Every structure is written in structure tokens, then in C-alpha cells.
Structure 1
Amino acid sequence: MVEPRASLAFDPASRRWALLVGAVCVLPLLLQLPLLQGLLIGAASVAISLLTWRRPLPGWLRLLLALSVLGIVLSLSGFRFGRDTGCALLAAMLAIKPAETFSLRDARSLVGFALFAPFATFLLDQGPLSLALGLIAAVLALTALQRFAEIESGDSAAPPSPVRRLLGIGRLLAIGLPMALAVFWLFPRLATPAWGVPDRALARPGLSDRMSPGEWAELMNDETPVLRARFFGAAPLPAQLYWRGPVLWDFDGQTWTQPGGLRGLPPAATQPAATRWDYEMAIEPTDRRQLVALDLPLSAPTGSELTLDHGLYAAAPLSALTRWRVQSAPPARYEPRLHPVLRQMALALPPGYNPRTLALARQWRSEAGRDDAAIVQRSLAWIRARFAYTLDTPRPGRHGVDEFLFDQQAGFCQHFSSAFVVLMRGAGIPARVVTGYAGGYRNAIGDYWLVRRSDAHAWAEAWLPGRGWVRVDPTAAVAPERIYDTLADRAPGADGLIAGLLGSVWGDRAAGTRLFDVRDFMRRGWNDFVLGFNADRQQRLLKPLGVDKLEPRTLIVLFAMAAALALLWMAWLSARGPRQADPVLRAWHRLGRRYARLDLAREPHEPAHEWAERVSQARPELAGPLQSLTRRFNDWRYARTEPERRAAHALIRDLRAHRPRLHGERR
């Protein structure tokens, strides 16, 4: 009994190829998972492949291994189910799959399931690196499936060269490329999607509506981009780059939070200064609705709202890259008349906390009289003279502000802003904490500003008579370089292995920064032309061609025309058919065309031996040579013995030499 070819064990080279394709497919997904998860899944995949290199594991051991790996992944995810947990489980299952890959069917199953990994990657990241790795994985997977098809059909005796194989895969991709481009550019896009993907179990960091001194230490070492801002006209000075986020009013002795009753109230009255900043922000995805804007935004852009304290909030979570056109201006006067309820909120302190700070505040008030500005300046002078900036701070105790002001006298922005506001409130000056980002890095190639998570900052606002809310940054009094980015070594790419290598080779310490500029500029271009291609940008697609406004009906017609042209291209390219890669098959098909000129063509449904028998009856003088060639071709094509396979060159020669003649035609 002949064993079905789909279950036949295949050669070690093909198994290695299947495992390689699986690894390449799962690589972009592993890069998007949390570091520990990715390392464990990758190590498990390598270990399982080595343990099962020669023979499969027993069924009970494979089951135990699968349950162990899945249990570890779920425990690392905190048993929270979401988009990233599902992707991690997919990667874990693919890591286990090599334990049972020993036949052609297993290999095809592994490659087929592995193709889900690059697509799952796009649920977590849609950057150019993920796309490039996904394309490489898809090409290798198609190449592997082609190889498996050759093994199953018996056509692997004379496999095509790698170049010819890749050209064939490229042809398959070229068939569908026009349709893919037509769908991307012209398919009508909804401003608000009608469906979405599941939320992530692990939140993507964004500005929070609460702050506890000391909790940002890890965030301020994170160089992940938050936004990229391009200015139309004059750009602000570095000292003016305060990106306003949540405003925190309530303090319970440990944590600052936003009050719940200010949303929906109109923004406070302001008198903007003459300076205006017009800019567009491309904000990276987070799981929150909080937007930032330069201090102070003049109005809320479409799709957002401006709160009483000039915080910006999007109508929906910022789960994808979004663009916002905003105008801001520094205030000349900001809420010069403070409502009694707001004044009470801006003076409130929890009882029983920080007695030394409150005693100092009362002393300063008695010495300064009614001069609030003098108290503000006295506190800044004290901080400038006695305090230091550091991220290495102990965990605050019950009287955290007292400990910071009188014992430690060293910390970072959260400590300075929190302590300053408590000190001002103790002296009877309304004050509040403002969080956001400060500074940024100017990319000289793209002429835009990059703000990273390490630029997270907290400052204070004190209410002064006649002026209203005034920004006071006590951290800048201690470490202005931390706020205004005047130190060269804070530039991205200034340190690190790549920068060191480039600097040693080129003798240029700034080489790493220039490399970062190029890389981030390319990422910004990807965001502009791919991730940021939304319904609004689609409407502006044909404007350079004279189409000022792309109506939905026009867009549908254009898409239908482009899709029809793409379908014609696909039909034409498919009808041409690929050039037969195997030289034996090419010679056999040429022989069939020679007999077609004698009106003895083989029918598409007709087996080779039946065709040879029919030709022999019609032309007995051709029976012997044709039947011999047919028998040899069938042996080469379908037999499992190697002798006929090794005789392929002789068969090709004889097939080319056999040339039937017309009746009466002389040789």
C-alpha cells in the first residue's frame, strides 16, 4: 500500500527550511511583546526544536510542555485577556509546533499557521520594521510552500534555482499589488471605524490624571517618542516648550489627582500675548484621551474639548496615530478673577500632613505681608541655593513634603512641583500642579520637534492678583539643563554602541545623533504617508491634479475604475502563466505542440499513455518512438525509483530530438 504523499516524512533540509520560516514569521511578533515574554517564548522555541531534532517527543510530554508554556505566558500577562495576550499565546503555540513537525503535512501546517504571526504583529505595531519583517516572512513562507508542493508532486528532482524561485514568488506578489494599492488609496474610508480590535491587556503609557512624587523615575529614562510637532511660522524658544497636560488640584497627602467636576465647563478667561504659535502634532498611540498642547491652547481642535483649566481631551482614546492642528499663545493674563469655589479648591490641604512645611509657609506669610509674588520668589531662591536634582530618591513617607524640603533637599520635578504647591497653599496662595512634557529635541533634517517620554515634566501654577495663574517651574531653578535641553549629551543617539562605533570609525562624536535624525525622519515619513493616511488626507489625495474636493460618490467611482484595471492586470498576468521551470516538462510540452500541428494534440483531460495510444492508431509509424518517450516520461514524472530521475538529461535530449512529420513529408 502506497502511503499518501501528504504524510510522507520529508528530507532534513526541508524540515530545517520549515523551522526557519516559522522563526522568521514569529520574530516581528516577539519584538513587540514585553521583553521577558519575548525572550521566554524565543528560548522555548529553540529548546523544543533542538530536543525534537531527530525524533518527536511522546504525546504526554508534548501536552505537558504546551500547558507549561501557555501557563507561563498567561501568568506573565497577569491573566488579563486582550490584544497583546492573544498575540503572546499565538507566539507560544508556534514555539511548540516544531515538536510535531516531521512530515509534509506537519510542515505545511507549521508554515500556514506561522503566517498569522506577521499579521498579528500589526495589531501591536504598524511601523516600517514590522512591515519589512512581515514581507520577508511572507516571501519565505511562499517559497517554502512551493518547495513542499514540489516534494508532494515529485517534481523536486531538478528544483529551480533560488533566483528563479524568488522571481516566481515576486510574480505572485505583483499580481495582487495593484489591487492592494487601489484599496489603500481609493477605498472610501470612514472617519470613525465601524468596528475595532480588542483592547490591549497591557496599557500603553500616557499622561495620567494622578501623580505621586517619585513614581516617574522609570518613565523619565524612557526614550520612546510621544509626539512630533511641526511649526508653521516661528517656533517657540526652548524655554517656552511646555506641553500642557493634566492639571492636578486635589491632594490627599501622598497623591495629586484631577477633580471630577471640571469636565464640561467652559475654559477660563485668558488674555493671550501677541505671540502666536501655529503647529501640527502627530501624537503616538496611547490608551488615554489626554492630549497635550503648548501652554496655552487658544481653542480645541476638531474632535477634542478644552476644559476649564485648559486641558485638552480627545473624544475617543488615542489608540492610533492621530494628527492635531493647534494654535497656542503664552497668556498675558490667565483667569485674573478666580471663582471662590476654585480658590477654595486651590488652597485645600489634607489635615495632619507636613507640619514643618506649613509652619514655614506661615512664617513667610507673616514676613511678606500681602506680597504673594515675594513669597514665590523667596521659595525659588531657597530652592536654587539649597537643592539638587536627582532621580535617585527614597520612597516618601507620610510627611513626604517635609522630608523633601528639610531632610533630602534633592529630587526631580514631581518632588519640586508637589512641595512648591503645598508650600504656596500653606502660605495662602492658590496653586496647582500641571503635568505634561517640557522641552524636546529638534530634528535638523525634518525641521520638527520630537518629544519623548523622558521629557515628562511637572511644574506649578500660582495664582497672583492682577495676573491670574502664573507658571512657576521650581525644577528649572535647580536644573535648567533638564528642562531646556541645553546639554549636548541629552541628544538622542549621543551614547550607545552604534554611536560609539560610528564615532571611532569616522572620528565624529555627533555621528550617532545624525544617524538618529535620519532614522526618526524616516519614521515620521512613514507616519505621514502610511499610518496617517486617514479620511481627511484621502480627500486631499487628488488635489495636486486639480480635484479640489473629493466627494464620496467620486471616490467610489475612482475606486471602481482602479479596481477594474487591477482586475484586468491580474487576469492578464495570470493568463500568461509562468514559464515552466522544469526542463523535462518544458520539453514534453514542446513535443505536444509539435503533434498539435498534425491535428493530434493531447486533450487537457487526456492522460499521456491514452494520448500516445490514440496517436499510434492514427499514425502507426510514430507508435514506437512516441510510446517509448511516453513511458519514460511517466516513469520520470510519477515513479519513486531514482534511476529514471537521474536519466532526466537523456530524456530531455530525446524529447527535443523527436519531431513527427506530416504524411508524405520527406525527411
Structure 2
Amino acid sequence: MPSARPLPLDPAARRATLLTAAAALLPLLLQLPGALQGGLGATAVAVALLTWRRPLPGALRLLLALALVGLVLASSRFSLGRDTGCALLAAMIALKPAETFTLRDARSLVGFALFAPFATFLLDQGPLSLLLGLLAALLALATLQRLADLEAGAPDPAPPLWRRLAATGRLLAVGLPLALATFWLVPRLGAPLWGIPERALARPGLSDRMSPGQWLDLIGDERPALRARFFGPVPARQQLYWRGPVLWDFDGRTWWQLRWPPGIAPAPFDAGPPHWDYEIELEPTDRRQLVALDLPLAAPDGATLAPDHGLQALRPQTSVSRWRLRSAAPRHHQPHLPRALRALALRLPEGYNPRTVALGRQWRAEAGGDDAAVVRRALAWIRRDFAYTLETPLPGRHAVDEFLFDTRAGFCEHFSSAFAVLMRAAGVPARVVTGYAGGYRNPIGDYWLVRRSDAHAWTEVWLRGRGWVRVDPTAAVAPERIYDTIGDRLPGADGLLGGLGGGARSLVDVGDWLRRGWNDFVLGFDARRQERLLSGLGVQRLDGAHLVLLFAACAALALAWMLWLSARGERERDPVLRAWHALGRRYRRLGLEREPHEPAGAWAARVAAARPDLGPALRELSHRFSEWRYAVGEPGGRTARALAQALRRHRPTPAPSASQGPGRATPPGERR
């Protein structure tokens, strides 16, 4: 038997299909690098326009596919990661309209495009990605309904917009209760069963190394890095140093974090008052590096504390995470430095920065054994002769020499590196600490916001009797660049109504507060939060068995809701069927309803025997309904609309009572 010929798409159905594919592709494109966004977006538009009437030649489609694969791999530096896979998915969706001309092709494109919003959540889980994904899902359901109408043979498969949206809303309402029950009540694992592939291109963030020019992108990035909420005393702004990776090794150009052997305890320090108790909400970085207020007292669950008090998570931070921490300012930090660490904190590579090395040795000879005097002399020189700027050229081989003796201008990366090298050359143990400095207090929610642009690097020197001491040479030159954040420079910062009336500042406050709420109630809903789900009702902890029972009960209710809505929607999906069932309900009030097993013609004959005055009209309607329902031909169009209108207009009247005289109709079973 020959197969049926594929049903071609009409222009309206093709437009709806392409619009759905574009809506599904948009959230994924927004998470890709700029070059890929432009290239894949332009390709999708060009393919849709060029193939509107006829398909592209196969050779041209092959060349386009190879070009897009090459663009994706080149953008990811030929590294494979989840961002590379998502970009390849976007490229395939951009090319798919080139072969979309039949009903089957359209359904394939819609289904394939829906993978894009799901892939977006591998790269970003923010509210904008969710809203765009929901919009794509709504459009996909509406488009699939349009395609079903086209397959049914209706000449005009486009009912009014409100009716199509209402039908789509009913479809969503069918599955929403079960989806919510699954999200809140399915027992969650404390750790994932499998790992998420790493990104091919790392997100901007703190790294285990620091090279000249590496921080320019980070310092110019105004996106949030972390949010902190304090329980009790809040540190002064000058104490807001968020400690990250500590860099010890220096090869003449790049500083590296030390790889500590396992089992070494953190260096001891005398913690002075006050102690700060706080919670950090850390944005995803795809790295294990964590930050804490200088200095953390202990590592939280799921993290380790290095001997230099740098925190690392046990797993890469691919999503928003929360950490409860306690910190204190040290009075004495490792007052006894082991010989091996002292040698490491004094080591400099041979053949680099000869002028800096010579100056350090000169200062050592002049200061004798007074290390603090060397530190004070260096700070006074920097404060007097140096300037802060982001406009710095990439240095040559002797980067520190060029900064200290030629340019004398730079930002924290230059100041901290040069200061540490100068101290080591003078015989003062030194290391570079990276992290963030400062922060902005959001009055809406009472928490501190630290942005990626607050990234900072400072120096720690070891002084006899005091141990490691923080020295920030950048703050000596430009303290306003360290402690003043973008929030202080926004227009309206001194508005009459404070945080709620400051124009642009209040918008930033509200927007970040909403994002924090999203992180708290959605992204931060983990296994521990799930156990305390009913704590407000007096149930302090829900174990796995309780969660399973709750989910089973809610799932049963949700399935009953789904079955009721589905059955109701099945009965009333078609306007003609809806009008036919409504007609049966009107006859029910007369005691003449149609039995479920009764054909339309038999029902009309039974009604005519009981009520001759209603028989002719009902016989005609039942005949037209049977022809529409079972005859071979086109089920939709004007005929269906006319039949539905006729069914709705037919209103059977009750039989006349005996008091109405000789003209009354004979009730069923009554003889004249």
C-alpha cells in the first residue's frame, strides 16, 4: 500500500513553527559568548528567509553545517565542555528550518527546539532563563495545536488568540500540580549521582593564578559575585576583605596557588574580638575556590581549609551555593613560621626584575633587621609616587621593574605583585592574597552585595612577633577604589527616601533583592531545606519515608486532577461536540436525555415518539450531526460552524400542562 503524501505547511503554520523555534533558541543564545550569539542568530534568520519558498541545495547546507561547527569549536578553543555542547545544539536548531516544509518536519523542529531551553539550565538557572523557557513552551504547545488542526483538514486552523491561549493554559494546568509536587517533595540527594561536565570556557572569577592583564575582564564585570548576611555584629567597611586563593609561587610573571599535601592543619592564629557570624550566597564559578571574611575560623561542611586559610569546596561550584561561616580579625597570625614556608615566601626566580632585587637588597642593608621599617618605606614610596589606573600596557619580561621604575601606574594586580616581589628581595617573607574588597549594603533585605568588579589582590608580609600581616598597597594609593563600590557611584545614591527612593540605585536594589529571593526559594532549595519544609507547622524534620508518603498523596491528587481535566477537555475539545453534549443536557431536564450507548438517530426517534412536536427538528439535527461525525470528508470549516450554531440555537420546551386545554401535547405513556 503506498504511503500517504506528506502534508505541506501553509504560510501561517510555517510562521508559527519558526517563531516557536526562535523563542526556544533565544535563552540559549543569551548564554553563549558574543561572537557565537551573533553568528548563530544571523545564521538562523538567514536560513529561515532563504528557505521560505524552496529548500537550499544539499551541498550548501553541508557547508553551512561545517562552518557553524568550526565557529563553535574555534570559540571554545577546540575544547569540549557543556557550553560547547550547548552551542552545537544551538547551531543545529539554527540550521533545522532549511529542511522544514511538511507537517512532519514542523513537528520535528518544534520538538527538537524544546531541547534548547532545557540546555540553557546547564549554563544559567536565573529567572530570565526560566521565563523565556516558559514562553517557548507555551508557543510550542500552541503551535502543536495549530499543526493538529492543519492535519485534521480544517481550512482555517487559526481560532481566536484568546481561545488558543485558553486551550494552552488548560494543557499546562493539567501537569502543573504534579510538577510542583515533584519539585518540592521528591527526596533530594545531598550530592549528585553524576558530575556535570566542565565548561570549555571558564566564567570570570577568582583563579588559582594571577598574570599581568588577567584581571581586566573581572574588574570590569558588574555582575554579583556573592551576597552576605550577618547575624550579629557587622564589620566596618575597611574590614570587608573577602579572602580567596593565596598565591605563593612566582615564576617572574605569574603567581600560583600552593598545592598543599592533605592532612596539614591550618596555621594557628590568635582571634581577636569581634567574631563575625554570617552566611555567604556564592554565585556559580565552575571552580572550587571559595571566599570568606578574613580570617575564617573553620571550614564549613563540604569545604576544606588550607594551612594559609584559603577555602576550597569539595566540588566545583556549578550553581548557587550557601555557606555558613565564622571569622575574626587576627591579632597574631602564625607567629612562628616554619623554615620551609619561610624559604618559599622568600623565593624569587633567577634572571627576573634585577632593579627591584637590587633595590630590595639596598633597603635591607639600610634597615638592618627592622622588617617593619622596610614595609613602611615601601608604602610611603608608593603613596607618594604612584597612581591608580586600569589603562596599563602588557609588561615585558621584567614586569615588576617596569611597574616600579617606569610606568608607576596600575591597579591591584600590579601593586600587590610588585610589593610582594620587593619585600622578598628585601628579605621579608611575603605572599599575594586574592579575593574581594568592600561591598554594598542593600537596604531592601539588609544584606551585603559584592560584585565581580570588587575583585582585589593584596599582600601579606610576615613580621617577627606578629606573624602574617595584611598590607594593601593599592589602598595606600587609591582607597576610594577599594572601599567605594558601584553602588556608591550610582545616580540617586543620596535620594531623599534612602534605599527606596534613589532612582537608579533603588532599581538596582529591588532587582538584586528579587534575584536573591529567586536564589533562596528556588535555586537554594536543597536536601537540607527540604527536610525543614514543614518546620513552620511544627514538623522539625522530614526524612525520606515522610517525603515519599507526602509525594504519593500529592501525586495521587495531581493525577486525579489530570484525569478530570483531560476527560473534560476530551469531551469538549471540538465546538460541535461541545454543542451536541450541551443539547443532551437540555433534553435531560425534560427526562429525554440520550443514553451513552444510544446512536443519534435512535435517540431522535425515541424523542419523536414521546414528543411529536420536537421530533422533526431533532431528527434533522441528529442527521446532520451523524453526517458530520461519521461521513468521509472534511470535518471542519463552514459546515461544522453552521452545525454548532444550529445545535446551540435548538431549545426544547417542556410539554404543555393539562390546564392548557386541548392543544397540549400528550405526555409520554398517556393515551388520548
TM-score normalised per structure 2: 0.89
CA contact (8 A) 1:439 1:484 kept: yes
Superposition map of 1:475-494 within 5 A = 475-485=474-484, 490-491=486-487, 494=490
Q: Counterparts of 1:137 and 1:643 in 2: how far apart (Å)?
A: 28
Task: Sort the Cα spacing of 1:158 and 1:453 in 2 relative to 1 into closer, same or farther, 3 A.
Answer: closer
CA contact (8 A) 2:153 2:634 kept: no
CA contact (8 A) 1:33 1:88 kept: yes
Q: Counterparts of 2:501 and 2:605 in 1: how far apart (Å)?
A: 82
CA contact (8 A) 1:228 1:448 kept: yes
Task: Sort the Cα spacing of 1:223 and 1:666 in 2 relative to 1 into closer, same or farther, 3 A.
Answer: farther
Q: Which position in structure 2 is the counterpart of 1:457?
A: 456
SS, match of residue 273 in structure 2: coil
Q: Which position in structure 2 is the counterpart of 1:525?
A: 517
Measured after TM superposition, the shift of residue 581 of structure 1 is 5.5
Q: Which position in structure 1 is the counterpart of 2:63?
A: 64
Superposition map of 1:164-183 within 5 A = 164-183=163-182
CA contact (8 A) 1:160 1:581 kept: no
Q: Counterparts of 1:310 and 1:169 in 2: how far apart (Å)?
A: 55
CA contact (8 A) 2:155 2:636 kept: no
200-209 or 235-244: bigger deviation: 200-209
Pick from 525, 539, 553 the counterpart of residue 531 of structure 2. Answer: 539
Q: Counterparts of 1:646 and 1:172 in 2: how far apart (Å)?
A: 28
Q: Which position in structure 2 is the counterpart of 1:279?
A: 278
Q: Which position in structure 2 is the counterpart of 1:516?
A: 508
Measured after TM superposition, the shift of residue 629 of structure 1 is 5.6
Q: Which position in structure 1 is the counterpart of 2:559?
A: 567
527-536 or 89-98: bigger deviation: 89-98
Task: Read off the aligned partner of 2:539 and give its amino acid letter.
Answer: V
Matching of residue 353 in structure 1 with residue 380 in structure 2 = no
Measured after TM superposition, the shift of residue 200 of structure 1 is 2.2
Q: Any unmatched runs of 5+ in structure 1?
A: none
Superposition map of 1:586-597 within 5 A = 586-590=578-582
SS, match of residue 463 in structure 1: strand
Measured after TM superposition, the shift of residue 492 of structure 1 is 7.8
Q: Which position in structure 2 is the counterpart of 1:443?
A: 442
CA contact (8 A) 1:155 1:637 kept: no
Q: Which position in structure 2 is the counterpart of 1:473?
A: 472
CA contact (8 A) 1:583 1:652 kept: no
Identity fraction in percent = 62
CA contact (8 A) 1:213 1:418 kept: no
CA deviation vs aligned residue, 1:316-338 (integer Å, no higher than 9, x gap): 11122111000000100111111
Calculate the aligned-residue CA RMSD, in Å: 3.2
Measured after TM superposition, the shift of residue 665 of structure 1 is 8.3
Pick from 544, 548, 551 the counterpart of residue 552 of structure 1. Answer: 544
Task: Sort the Cα spacing of 1:492 and 1:172 in 2 relative to 1 into closer, same or farther, 3 A.
Answer: farther
Superposition map of 1:110-129 within 5 A = 110-129=109-128
Q: Which position in structure 2 is the counterpart of 1:202?
A: 201
CA contact (8 A) 1:288 1:318 kept: yes
240-249 or 105-114: bigger deviation: 105-114
Task: Read off the aligned partner of 1:530 and give its amino acid letter.
Answer: V
Superposition map of 1:69-108 within 5 A = 69-108=68-107
Measured after TM superposition, the shift of residue 252 of structure 1 is 1.5
Q: Which position in structure 1 is the counterpart of 2:212?
A: 213
Measured after TM superposition, the shift of residue 140 of structure 1 is 1.2
CA deviation vs aligned residue, 1:334-378 (integer Å, no higher than 9, x gap): 111111111111111122222211221122222222211111111
Superposition map of 1:209-358 within 5 A = 209-261=208-260, 263-358=262-357
Q: Which position in structure 2 is the counterpart of 1:50?
A: 49
Q: Counterparts of 1:574 and 1:194 in 2: how far apart (Å)?
A: 35
CA contact (8 A) 2:388 2:410 kept: yes
Measured after TM superposition, the shift of residue 438 of structure 1 is 1.0
Q: Counterparts of 1:470 and 1:214 in 2: how far apart (Å)?
A: 26
Superposition map of 1:576-655 within 5 A = 576-577=568-569, 580=572, 582-590=574-582, 601=595, 603=597, 612=601, 626=619, 630=623, 634=627, 645=638, 648-649=641-642, 652-653=645-646
Task: Sort the Cα spacing of 1:298 and 1:647 in 2 relative to 1 into closer, same or farther, 3 A.
Answer: closer
Q: Counterparts of 2:306 and 2:636 in 1: how far apart (Å)?
A: 84
Q: Which position in structure 2 is the counterpart of 1:142?
A: 141
Task: Read off the aligned partner of 2:641 and give its amino acid letter.
Answer: A
Task: Sort the Cα spacing of 1:80 and 1:512 in 2 relative to 1 into closer, same or farther, 3 A.
Answer: same
Task: Read off the aligned partner of 1:491 and give its amino acid letter.
Answer: G
CA contact (8 A) 1:356 1:402 kept: yes
Task: Sort the Cα spacing of 1:220 and 1:438 in 2 relative to 1 into closer, same or farther, 3 A.
Answer: same
Q: Counterparts of 1:182 and 1:493 in 2: how far apart (Å)?
A: 45
Q: Counterparts of 2:242 and 2:251 in 1: how far apart (Å)?
A: 26
Measured after TM superposition, the shift of residue 647 of structure 1 is 7.8
Task: Sort the Cα spacing of 1:198 and 1:256 in 2 relative to 1 into closer, same or farther, 3 A.
Answer: closer
Task: Sort the Cα spacing of 1:627 and 1:313 in 2 relative to 1 into closer, same or farther, 3 A.
Answer: same
Q: Counterparts of 1:94 and 1:493 in 2: how far apart (Å)?
A: 42
Measured after TM superposition, the shift of residue 592 of structure 1 is 6.0
Measured after TM superposition, the shift of residue 643 of structure 1 is 11
CA deviation vs aligned residue, 1:502-560 (integer Å, no higher than 9, x gap): x9xxxx99422211111111000000000000011111211111012222222222222
SS, match of residue 549 in structure 1: coil
Task: Read off the aligned partner of 2:532 and give its amino acid letter.
Answer: R
Q: Counterparts of 1:651 and 1:404 in 2: how far apart (Å)?
A: 85
Measured after TM superposition, the shift of residue 409 of structure 1 is 0.6
Q: Counterparts of 2:174 and 2:380 in 1: how far apart (Å)?
A: 71
Measured after TM superposition, the shift of residue 635 of structure 1 is 5.6
Measured after TM superposition, the shift of residue 599 of structure 1 is 8.1
Measured after TM superposition, the shift of residue 638 of structure 1 is 6.7
CA deviation vs aligned residue, 1:98-152 (integer Å, no higher than 9, x gap): 2222222222222121111111111111110011111111111111111111121
SS, match of residue 361 in structure 1: helix
CA contact (8 A) 2:288 2:314 kept: yes
Count, aligned residues: 649
Task: Sort the Cα spacing of 1:66 and 1:613 in 2 relative to 1 into closer, same or farther, 3 A.
Answer: farther
CA contact (8 A) 1:401 1:418 kept: yes
621-630 or 367-376: bigger deviation: 621-630
Measured after TM superposition, the shift of residue 590 of structure 1 is 4.4
Task: Sort the Cα spacing of 1:628 and 1:657 in 2 relative to 1 into closer, same or farther, 3 A.
Answer: closer
CA deviation vs aligned residue, 1:16-73 (integer Å, no higher than 9, x gap): 1111111111111111111111111111111111112222223333333333333322
Q: Which position in structure 2 is the counterpart of 1:383?
A: 382
377-386 or 435-444: bigger deviation: 435-444
595-604 or 367-376: bigger deviation: 595-604
Task: Read off the aligned partner of 1:246 and give its amino acid letter.
Answer: P
Q: Counterparts of 2:637 and 2:194 in 1: how far apart (Å)?
A: 58
SS, match of residue 250 in structure 1: strand
CA deviation vs aligned residue, 1:563-600 (integer Å, no higher than 9, x gap): 22222222333333367355433333445668996687
Q: Counterparts of 1:42 and 1:666 in 2: how far apart (Å)?
A: 80
CA contact (8 A) 2:90 2:116 kept: yes
397-406 or 592-601: bigger deviation: 592-601
Measured after TM superposition, the shift of residue 494 of structure 1 is 2.8
CA contact (8 A) 1:175 1:574 kept: yes
Task: Sort the Cα spacing of 1:448 and 1:3 in 2 relative to 1 into closer, same or farther, 3 A.
Answer: same
Measured after TM superposition, the shift of residue 10 of structure 1 is 3.2
Q: Which position in structure 1 is the counterpart of 2:659?
A: none
Task: Read off the aligned partner of 1:630 and give its amino acid letter.
Answer: H
37-46 or 258-267: bigger deviation: 258-267
Measured after TM superposition, the shift of residue 300 of structure 1 is 0.9
CA contact (8 A) 2:229 2:280 kept: yes
Measured after TM superposition, the shift of residue 2 of structure 1 is 11
Q: Which position in structure 1 is the counterpart of 2:663?
A: none
CA contact (8 A) 1:592 1:602 kept: no
Measured after TM superposition, the shift of residue 406 of structure 1 is 0.8
